Amino acid sequence: MLCFAIHANAQNPGGKTYFADVDVFNSPGSGQGVIRFFNCGNAPSLAVDEAMTAEFWFKAAIPSDNQKIIGKINSTGAVFNNGYLIGIANSRINPEIWTPGNQKFEEGFIPPVSTWHHIAVTYNATGMYRAYLNGTLAHEQAANGNIVTSAADLIIGVGPWGNMDAFMAFGSIDEIRLWNVERSAEDIKGNMFKNLTGTEAGLVLYQNFDNDDGTNVVADLSSAGNNCTKIGMDDSNFIDSECVIADAVTQSMDDLNGIWFSSNAFLQDPRVVDTDNGLSLASNFNGQDTSAYVIWGHNGGTGTTTSELPANSPANSMRTARTWSATVFGNITPNMTFNLDNAAGGGTALPTGLDAERYTLLEQEAPTANFVAIANADAVSASDVTFNVVPVQGATYAIATGDAPFVTSVFEADKNDLAAVIFPNPTEGRVNIQLNEQASNANIMVYNTVGQLVQTMSVNTAFTELQLHHAGMYLIRIEANSKTFNQRIIVVN
């Protein structure tokens, strides 16, 4: 049985994002046909030549279109022989680099739905030319010499040449970073969920728009000082961001990983992110909030500890010294699988071979506070321990064992002999209950996540409705005709 303390999800740490509305552009009105972009000037630091990295998060409104995100090109008529450009085309990453011949490709499938993707392109004049989609290598080919430097202005959000009236990017762009060095695959994956300080070596432009103050200029957050001027914009172009970024607590952890709607390129359920740090997640988005995400990292702990265990823990209790902090946006209920060997980080692991109810998921809401036991495991396979359908919160997690279960069931939720249906599940609070056999004086009981009875009612009809007002996991029990029906319900509101 799952038992959970209900508390609010962490606020989204994404801050602001730049947004260009394709409907406004195409519809009659004051914004129709207005080209919107940023001009970030032509300082020498932006004229990269031997190596570069460009990266950003992009939520495309029309992913199949040819759209330009960031570029610096000085063209004469139709002649293009200098500079660089990164965009998307035909639902693929589409960079172009002139050396002076155009080296370009279209690789890395971006599903044609409006969801966030992290895109990165790296170039090393004497090495390789690569593209990464959501932290994974999507394409590589040999580079062919230095980039021919361009005297043109650096442009964000539209084709960077001529009168800049084509290939405008529609949707949201966030966390734009330009470097004059080649970033490694580890650098890209390790930092894609983090904000930067702005002082990182080789960083020549950093815009995440959190510092937008409504004026005509958005200051560069890097130490290079390449501020960007807004062209054709108004207040509607800066909105609250749902970009997949961790909060300050999770950003300080090691080995960040994330699961969100586009973390699988083909949108297959479940989205599974396997790690070797001890915690892997899998989540179905069918019927869930598609803007929701979880980002998690760990504290680097090794072995086991008895510190901060729940009050009244069973004898000989211990937990992993390694803990995992999560940033959560929206409502999401993944399966959490702990690998006991990897979770030990090279130290002594928790014992294997125990019954599932002897493994307990712990949750800590504040640093140094005692953990709370919130669930017994649902399945054990060798060194893997799985907790199913966890309404994960912005909190810290660990796994523990003891001589007895930490969490005791108030009833067996899987022993049903009464014919009934409870729907929808998940729900935003309204729960429909349909008795599929004749019954009178049916008693309906709702238990909260610590096994307390929070609501009860008696009904004499085949169909009834109840309302649950707080997000989390509930257990609904129906008793009628000396039979019972039990079902777990997830409330997302």
Residue-wise pLDDT tens digits, 83-137: 999 999 999 999 999 999 999 999 999 988 889 999 999 999 999 999 999 999 9
pLDDT (tens digit per residue) in 465-481? 899 887 777 888 898 88
**Does position 439 have pLDDT exceeding 70, yes or no?**
yes
Question: Is the full-model pTM beyond 0.75?
Answer: yes
Are the CB atoms for 129 and 182 separated by under 8 Å? no
Chain-wide mean pLDDT for the chain? Answer: 90
- pLDDT at res. 194: 97
Integer Cα distance of 143 and 126 in angstroms:
6
- HSE-up of residue 477 (Cα within 13 Å, Cβ side): 21
**Omega of the bond prior to 63 within 30 degrees of 0, cis?**
no
Integer Cα distance of 244 and 404 in angstroms:
39
Burial zone of 172 (CB within 10 Å; 0-12 exposed, 13-18 middle, 19+ buried): buried
* Selection from 340, 345, 55 nearest residue 192 by Cα: 55
Integer Cα distance of 401 and 320 in angstroms:
9
Integer Cα distance of 430 and 416 in angstroms:
22
Average pLDDT over residues 182-195: 97
**What is the rounded (10 degree) CA torsion for 299, 304, 310, 316?**
180
Integer Cα distance of 239 and 257 in angstroms:
25
Confidence category of residue 12, pLDDT binned at 50, 70, 90: low
Residues 6+ apart with CB under 8 A from 78: none
Confidence category of residue 288, pLDDT binned at 50, 70, 90: low
Q: End-to-end CA distance of the chain: give it in Å, rounded.
A: 22
* Selection from 120, 141, 119 nearest residue 59 by Cα: 119
- Residue 221, strand partner residues: none
Confidence category of residue 409, pLDDT binned at 50, 70, 90: low
Are the CB atoms for 247 and 296 separated by under 8 Å? no
Strand arrangement of the beta sheet that strand 430-435 belongs to: 420-423, 430-435, 463-467
Are the CB atoms for 173 and 24 separated by under 8 Å? no
- pLDDT at res. 429: 86
Confidence category of residue 5, pLDDT binned at 50, 70, 90: very low
pLDDT (tens digit per residue) in 57-79? 999 999 889 999 999 998 877 78
Phi and psi at residue 155, in whole multiples of 5°?
A: -120, 140
228-231 vs 217-218, strand pairing mode:
antiparallel
**Does position 289 have pLDDT exceeding 80, yes or no?**
no
Integer Cα distance of 351 and 252 in angstroms:
29
Percent of the chain clearing pLDDT 90 (strictly above): 66
